[in-house]
Every structure is written in structure tokens, then in C-alpha cells.
Chains A and B, each alone.
Chain A
């Protein structure tokens, strides 16, 4: 069974702090990795793809560690608006349109 595991949290973090959370995946041949953001009672939205070399988008940095089979998301200078659930999404090797597995999400609460 292809698993994607995340710490459900919640992570309670003061505004302005840096927060990081990881996601582990079980299939070593997984191809692609993504972070989605889901606000309460809303639909998921793509936050960023995770590239092998790591990538940064403003305050957000995503890293991939294939040897240990995890991806990470780092949020710097956190804002109140960053409060959301962050979903780790993994595309399995050979997976096509049915190859994505969604993690259960990590709940982040930014406190003023």
C-alpha cells in the first residue's frame, strides 16, 4: 500500500516565527511531490511543487530528501493568513491520472 504520512498537528506558532513540517512517503520510486494548502471548509489549492534540488517561493521553501523518503515545507516570517492545513501529495512511479496520493494534512495555526 502506498502511504503518505504527515503529522496532523496542530502546530501552534506565533506570528513572525519560522515553522517547518515534514511528510514521509513509502514508495521509493515515487516521481513527483507537491504541497497543497487547504483552508477550513475550502478546496485544496496548489502551493508549490517540490523539485529534487529544492525550491523556494517567497517565504516558502520545499525540500526533497529521496534517501530518507521525505519532503519538507518551511515557512519563514509566518503570517496569520498562513493558518491552514497543508497537504502533502505524492505521485507514485508509473502512476498516471490515478497515481496521486494525498496525505491527511498538517494543521497550522499562526497566533497573533
Chain B
């Protein structure tokens, strides 16, 4: 069981470039999330989805976009990358909206540097 798979693991972008961070889960979870984690900081929610075709903004959505065309996939799009978007990005999924007994399952993360 793969769980949550994120690609790429590392990426260096130049200012103004765009990219898509991929996230896929094979647990048939309805809920999926994108977080960013800056050094010494707590995880911040960027976007989340409660099911295919439904997405909503989290705490720090500016500069990002998402889509959820299938239950399995939840890609995060960065348009016009800026140095402030240098961070570690985690995708997560859960069986219920609050994580419940099993909590959130996180992917291994994407380390993004914008230069």
C-alpha cells in the first residue's frame, strides 16, 4: 500500500517560473490537503478538498492553485514562483475531515527552493 505519494522530492525554481507538485493517494480517502512547512514553523494549510470536484482555501492560499478531478489526485500549482514560496510542501489525506482515529497520512514531502 503506497499511501500518499508526492513528486518531485526536490526542485529548484527560478523566480517567475511555474510548476505543479503532484500528489496521489490510494486509500480512497475523500479528504486531501496541501500544507507548507517553513523552518521552525508549524504546518500551514494551503488548500484542501473534501472530495472530487470540491476544493477550498486554507490559511495561506495566495500564489497557489489546486484541482481535484479524481479522488486519488490532488495537484498543487505554483504560478510565478517567488522566494517566499521556498518551503517544504506536504500533501496529506484522511478518512474523515478531522483525521479521526487514524489521523492524517502525509506524503514524504517536496523540498522547493525558489532562487
Contacts and interface: CB of A to CB of B under 8 A. Distances in A.
Contacts of B31: 97
A96 B97 contact: yes
B109 interface: yes
Interface residues on A, range: 20 to 34
A34 to B, nearest CB: 6
A99 B56 CA distance: 13
Interface stretch (A38-46, A56-64, A76-84): A38-46
Contacts of A105: 42
B103 to A, nearest CB: 3
A105 B40 CA distance: 8
B107 A98 contact: no
B108 A43 contact: yes
A49 interface: yes
Contact of A46 (B50, B102, B108): B102
25 contacts: A36-B103, A43-B90, A43-B107, A43-B108, A43-B109, A44-B43, A44-B104, A44-B106, A46-B103, A87-B42, A96-B50, A96-B97, A96-B98, A97-B33, A97-B48, A97-B94, A98-B45, A98-B48, A100-B98, A100-B99, A102-B35, A102-B43, A104-B40, A104-B41, A105-B42
Interface of B: 31, 33, 35, 40-43, 45, 48, 50, 56, 58-59, 90, 94, 97-99, 101-104, 106-109
